[in-house]
Amino acid sequence: MPGCDSVWGGLVVANTTDIAPGSARKFQLQCGGKTIDGFVVNFKGKFYAYINQCCHIPIPLDWIDNEFFTKDKRHLICMTHGATYEPNTGLCIDGPCPGEHLEVIPVAVKQGQVIVYCPPEWD
Ligand code: FES
């Protein structure tokens, strides 16, 4: 039941099989009375989630929905000025904001579902 609250208190974004390695899925999460725009990526079979906001300028990374990876699928990239991030840490390694980090959203896989949770500072 993608996009639904789970019995574990988080938001079910998708089934694991819905997000292939090298792809991503956007979601909206209600935290502390605010809506967070986030995205989850499958990087080499593991899932990571971040707030969809570039470290350079606070705008979404993607122009085309759910397109976050570079062509070679090794990094995440902001389509505006090319900030390049490690998919598994959110660290910016190239472009206008090296050394900065995307804001992490806790993510877990339970019974074949990808579930995200409010970051502690947003709850
Ligand atoms: S806004 Fe993302 S690189 Fe400039």
What are the structural domains of the chain? 3-122 (2.102.10.10)
- Residue % of the chain over a pLDDT of 90: 85
**Average pLDDT, 10 consecutive residues per value, the chain (123 residues):** 64 96 96 94 98 97 91 96 98 98 97 94 79
Ligand 1 atom nearest to CA at 82:
3
Phi, psi of 5 (to 5 degrees): -65, 145
* Closest atom, ligand 1, to C-alpha of 61: 2
Closest residue CA from atom 3 of ligand 1: 81
Q: Please state, in angstroms and rounded to a whole number, the distance separating the CA atoms of residues 24 and 34.
A: 22
Quick check: 17 and 2 in contact, CB under 8 A? Answer: no
- Residue 3's pLDDT is what? 59
